[in-house]
Every structure is written in structure tokens, then in C-alpha cells.
Amino acid sequence: MSRPYIEHIGIIVDNLDRSIALFESLFDIKPSGIKDMPDVGLKVARLSAENIDIELIEYTSEAAFGKLVMGAERGLNHISVKVENIESMVRDAEQRGIKALEGFPRPGSHGLVAFFEPATTEGILLEVCER
């Protein structure tokens, strides 16, 4: 089995524009894209560093699906691992007692995504994605 590929880390921020400006001014990293996702109450900026991508995520609605999945805490939120076949991976995980959150897999900001219940992943919010 090949080593896992960490696709990105997700960080919840209060203000997307100010957070982008911080990364630009300190590290000269500009977003490769910004995606508005009103159906789940998110606005997401993707920043690409040499060795990993960072998603800066701003809640645009306090009662939307995105906040229900990722929680209210600001800061480091989740780790996403790239998979080849998300349906197969979710089935395999569930056979091991690791449960996908209700409503997943579903389209995300970067392909199909699935989050897992932190109660089944040692309290870590894990996401898998298939581009």
C-alpha cells in the first residue's frame, strides 16, 4: 500500500479576506481559488504551499450544513486525505467501525468528500476526498 497523500488541512477563520492577506504578507502565498458555497454556508480559499494545500474556510451562515459538520471552533479544523475511490473507502471504513457523517459522500469544494464522525476517529475530524 502506498503512503497516504495529505490533500489539505482546513482552517476555520473569522474573516477570509484578512486571513488571505495574512498569508500573502507573511509568506507570499496567494489563493489559487476562492469558492463561494452558499448551499452549505461556506466561502473557501485554497492556498498552495510547496508541500501541502491549506483551505481557509469562512462561515457565511451560522445555521448552515458546513458549520454543523465542522463545528463552531475557529482554528485548525480538519485533515483531508486523498483517496482514489471514495465510495469504496467509506464502505471499508464503516466495516472497521469508522462512520461517515450523515449526508456523505457529497460534492465539496474540491471534488467528492466525506467527513467521519469524530467519536469514531479518536476525536479527530477526518475528511477524505476524491478529486
Give the pLDDT confidence of 53-98 residue by residue, as tens digits.
999 999 999 888 999 999 989 999 999 999 999 999 999 999 999 9
Strands 126-130 and 75-82: parallel
Domains within the chain, CATH numbers bracketed: 5-130 (3.10.180.10)
Q: Residue 32's closest CA among 113, 109, 107?
A: 109
- Check pLDDT > 60 for residue 1: no
CB 115 within 8 A of CB 69: yes
Specify the pLDDT at position 35. Answer: 96
Q: What average pLDDT is seen over the chain?
A: 93
CB 58 within 8 A of CB 13: yes
What DSSP character marks residue 62?
T
Cα separation of 2 and 7, whole Å?
15
Is the peptide bond between 105 and the residue preceding it cis, with omega within 30 degrees of 0?
A: yes
- Over range 85-112, report the average pLDDT: 95
Helix (H, G, I), strand (E, B) or coil at 30: coil
For residue range 8-26, list pLDDT tens digits in order.
999 999 999 999 999 999 8
Can you give the pTM of this predicted structure? 0.89
Cα separation of 61 and 18, whole Å?
18
Going by pLDDT thresholds of 50, 70 and 90, the confidence category of residue 40 is very high
